[in-house]
Amino acid sequence: MAYRRIALTGGIASGKSTVAGMFSRLGAIVLDADKAARDAVEPGSPCWRALRELLGPLYFHPDGELKRRELRNRIIDDQDCRSRVNAILHPAIMSAMEDEFRRIKQVDPGRVVLFDIPLLFEAGFADRFDTIILVYTPPEIQIQRLMRRDGLTREEAEATLTMQLPIDSKKVRCQIIIDNSLGMDETALQVNAAWEKITREEAGVGKGTPSSKQNPDPQSRGPER
């Protein structure tokens, strides 16, 4: 049976983790790409070995742990390195999430499962999903949040944003948009409305309506109005 695939994405410091938590409390299982990425670079893993060969020992602690901040600084400035790192990590992350998705659906076919993937579009995974939920925050708010949260200068925060596609360019490819700049109460209302929509769609699949992504369609769709 082909199950619907639902992605949750958003720019850095958009509040996506907050929204993911809201969906989780409503009953969704959220598969976290950031956790899958951490698991993928565990010392001794295939991705870890590939990164060590690419980057050299200076980007690893004595115990083998990846120096994530140093790597982030490197890939901000070095686009070729960023592409090579992504080519190592992205397929492994998606494979692990797909495996977990299948395990969940085998046990509980009706459960709503969200793939929480920050770099959904950048990694080229958008066409795998039937529904994409975008957590939207204006770029200036993203910059301010990054400066407060991570202790970055404005220049560093702006450079970090350049590693992702502009948030406004993603909006036209998403079916559900949650504006997280209007306050928590408004965000919660939008999440509840999105939950009602996706649970209706999930129920339709359970009654025999096929997923449109049984064989991923390379054509992207515009948002539902």
Instruction: Encode pLDDT of 107-120 as tens digits.
Output: 999 999 999 999 99
Number of domain units in the chain: 1
Question: Is residue 10 included in any domain, yes or no?
Answer: yes
Question: Is residue 65 included in any domain, yes or no?
Answer: no
CA-to-CA distance for 165 and 198, rounded, in angstroms? 26
Question: Is residue 114 included in any domain, yes or no?
Answer: yes
Question: Is residue 33 included in any domain, yes or no?
Answer: yes
pTM of the predicted model as reported, rounded to 2 decimal places:
0.86
Q: What is the CATH number of the domain that holds 109?
A: 3.40.50.300
Structural domain boundaries, residue 130? 6-38+97-206
Segment 1-51, tens digit of pLDDT: 678 999 999 999 999 999 999 999 999 999 999 999 999 999 999 999 999
Question: Is residue 116 included in any domain, yes or no?
Answer: yes
CA-to-CA distance for 135 and 150, rounded, in angstroms? 20
Give the Å distances, CA to CA, from 129 to 86, 132, 217: 20, 7, 9
Question: Is residue 145 included in any domain, yes or no?
Answer: yes
Question: Is residue 224 included in any domain, yes or no?
Answer: no
CA-to-CA distance for 129 and 175, rounded, in angstroms? 10
Neighbours of 57 (CB within 10 A): 9
Question: Is residue 218 included in any domain, yes or no?
Answer: no
Per-residue model confidence as pLDDT tens for the chain (225 residues): 678 999 999 999 999 999 999 999 999 999 999 999 999 999 999 999 999 999 999 999 999 999 998 998 899 889 999 999 999 999 999 999 999 999 999 999 999 999 999 999 999 999 999 999 999 999 999 999 999 999 999 999 999 998 899 888 899 999 999 999 999 999 999 999 999 999 998 887 655 444 656 444 333 333 332
The residue type of 107 is V
* DSSP collapsed to 3 states, 90-135: HHHHHHHHHHHHHHHHHHCCCCCEEEECCCCCCCCCHHHCCEEEEE
